[in-house]
Structure 1
């Protein structure tokens, strides 16, 4: 105890570790929240608390998990970098932000380039979410070379190869996946799809396990990505990824960010030329701030994106004119 009778940071962390060992969710969350509240920002104890709070909420509230991860990532500790970025990738995949999720897994690989699960998850996102089959195959082959007996890795590579037209190798791998996990219905569906010549409409049952991220328990999340064939083009996704990243860092709530994504999609759909990605993202955020009465200044937003206030104002006016928007429109 401290001189004032309050528990020290070390005592709070020990309490959190004991709660994690007990497995009782209410005790775990209470102890981790106490630690996160008292630990110095950016300290190992704060990172510990926010990381485990993120893992706790990953399935039921990926948005809340992402906010905890952002606080941990902002501390910039390289020792924790790969797992934190991989967890953020999983959160963003669950939220449907596939380009952002792929960026997170690339960052995780920058810290731990040999981790097969990061290669698998990135490859699966590139295949099923972003239609980058060449990049997907590269990462999935790395994962397969290191984990040739993991049925999900084998199945993901088979799926990608089938989409690339490499049906002979894909069928061999699909049969391997079925042999490795005979009760896995999705693997059997995958095999049947390939035997039919891999028609363009893929079976919805083809899924990927996205939960193998560093020290996170195997199978923590199943079905994180399913039938993500309707992806946006590369430019839209690059703007959306920047926009979501900045708005998460700025503490916006999910409704604000969903509104921003809608504004972005509608505007790009009506405009042939939309300018620089960073200016567009900043202008969308400023427009949403006006629409929802959030009171953020144009200069503050411009500074965060590294662009000029004038550019943000000009693009925001064009967004409002194009979409017939007025400030404080609900």
Structure 2
């Protein structure tokens, strides 16, 4: 039996306030599950619950996230957050080409979303082995979020693979003011090696 609409709306507002205040989405999963089970299917509260369950579960329970996202997309194929959650979940289970299609759909619906641009650009670079195609997406993501070390690393990696290692090194170093992960240190070494390969230009006499 579904909840009265005003009860579901109140739950949506309470969860929205918690998310805005910085509450971890994972901690809100029990409330979201209750809302998804009690709200009228295909209603706004139901869609809200499905969307946020997919987003919360995508990094940690990708199969469950995929099911929730697909249920929502069957009702509303224009929900860009559901496409993005599905893309993340599919990339985690190594279904990379499907993930690319999902992020392409998400970015087509919400072209100004830097996280979608970042994830899609990274997949173009690493999965499709097409760093040149990734650069416009990663440049846009970096311009929107220049302090994100993950975005900077993806952008720097693509720059290094397209003959702009020094620029990539500069981008990465600016972003790593608080230290680097092992992968980021490996990327630094790769970029430094690429820069070292280029012969220095001697001044003319």
TM-score (normalised: structure 1): 0.51
1:40: Cα distance to partner? 3.0
Radius of gyration: which is bigger?
A: 1
Alignment match of 1:10 (pick from 6, 9, 13)? 6
Superposed, which structure 2 residues align to 1:23-172 within 5 Å? 28-76=28-76, 78=78, 81-172=79-170
Give the SS at the match of 2:194.
coil
Give the SS at the match of 2:75.
coil
Long gaps (5+) in structure 2: 196-205
- How many correspondences in the alignment? 191
Is residue 190 of structure 2 the alignment partner of residue 196 of structure 1? no
1:150: Cα distance to partner? 2.7
Distance 2:185 2:155 in 1: 15
Long gaps (5+) in structure 1: 199-330
Distance 1:27 1:123 in 2: 30
Give the SS at the match of 1:74.
helix
1:28: Cα distance to partner? 4.0
Distance 2:9 2:24 in 1: 16
1:17: Cα distance to partner? 5.2
1:244-292 Cα distance to aligned partner (Å, 9 max, x none): xxxxxxxxxxxxxxxxxxxxxxxxxxxxxxxxxxxxxxxxxxxxxxxxx
Distance 1:136 1:193 in 2: 19
Aligned-residue Cα RMSD (Å) equals: 2.9
1:19: Cα distance to partner? 6.3
Distance 2:162 2:127 in 1: 15
Give the SS at the match of 2:176.
helix
Distance 2:91 2:28 in 1: 25
Distance 1:28 1:147 in 2: 27
2:200 corresponds in structure 1 to none
1:169: Cα distance to partner? 2.0
Give the SS at the match of 2:53.
helix
Give the SS at the match of 1:149.
coil
1:56: Cα distance to partner? 3.3
Distance 2:168 2:189 in 1: 11
Distance 1:102 1:77 in 2: 16
